[in-house]
Amino acid sequence: MCGVSGVAAVRRNVGDGLRGNVEGMERWLRMIRVSIVGARGRMGSTVVDAVGRAGDMTLSQSVDAGGDLASITADNTDVAVEFTVPSASRKNVLGLIKSGVNVVVGTTGWDEDGLDAVRGALGSSDHTGQSVVIAPNYALSAVLMERFAAQAARYFESAEIVEMHHPDKVDAPSGTALHTAHVVAQARADAGLGPMPDATTGQAESRGQVIDGVHVHAVRLRGLNAHEEVLLGNQGEQLMLRADSFDRSSFMPGVLMAVRSAASGNRPGLTVGLGALLD
């Protein structure tokens, strides 16, 4: 027979087991349920792996690019991460908003019309409190480089941007370079700077695309991954800011940061750029 001390030990063990089960259930309930759109793509599959390794997230649904998004609902998803192609991204994001889920978007190529469409969708009373994060780049080095460029641009007479990527990238210039150009141009305008000096005449295609007065150059070369330089110049001096992403894993800390922000409910509406989450 089991003595009094044995009974007490059994009771303690049972209590410990129940407490462990309750704590495990509480941890599970706190897990962020993440669904991936574009899960079989290069970036999407990397996000799947990152979510699987994150201690506070669980993978809910995986949908390939062009797949049916109906499986992603507010009942099974807290945040959907969308990494597809520019031609499909807008429709995907608006559909996910309609389904009532928060969205983190890594697909590039968004313009103001697309961003306004997202703002309009989130402005509906049915979607109060939903969050969408759209960032052209989730590498912390690139986001910080852009911030440093905005700080420096007001002090330099000239500024140009060179972005370099692998030849499989479908858009050019990159979304990061476009966003950086807007940021640099705004910093210059706020400082009261005029047009940059440039004596080029005649055919000037080799001078790159001009974005808000900032020349942006795109390189596509096998062996590259994702790289950007901001060149700033004055008489007799030059400042070069450069960010290099050598592997897609470099984007994952930023993606997971955005997922946590979207799930928290602390920043409802549309957030453009990862920099806002660093404040």
Query: Which sequence positions are flagged as catalytic?
Result: 165, 169
CA dihedral 265, 46, 272, 58 (to 10 degrees): -10
Max Cα–Cα distance, the chain, nearest Å: 102
Distance CA 176, CA 156 (A): 21
Q: Which of 237, 160, 242 is nearest to 197 (CA)?
A: 160
- Give Cβ neighbours of residue 32 (< 8 Å, ≥ 6 apart): 56, 57, 58, 78, 79, 259, 260, 263
Whether 271 and 141 have beta carbons less than 8 Å apart is answered as: no
Distance CA 238, CA 225 (A): 25
Q: Which of 43, 59, 40 is nearest to 51 (CA)?
A: 59
Q: Which of 231, 260, 255 is nearest to 245 (CA)?
A: 255
Q: How far is CA 70 from CA 73, 83, 130, in A?
A: 7, 17, 18
In eight-state DSSP terms, residue 94 is H
Handedness of CA 92, 93, 95, 99 (dihedral sign): positive
DSSP, collapsed to helix, strand or coil, labels residue 70 as helix
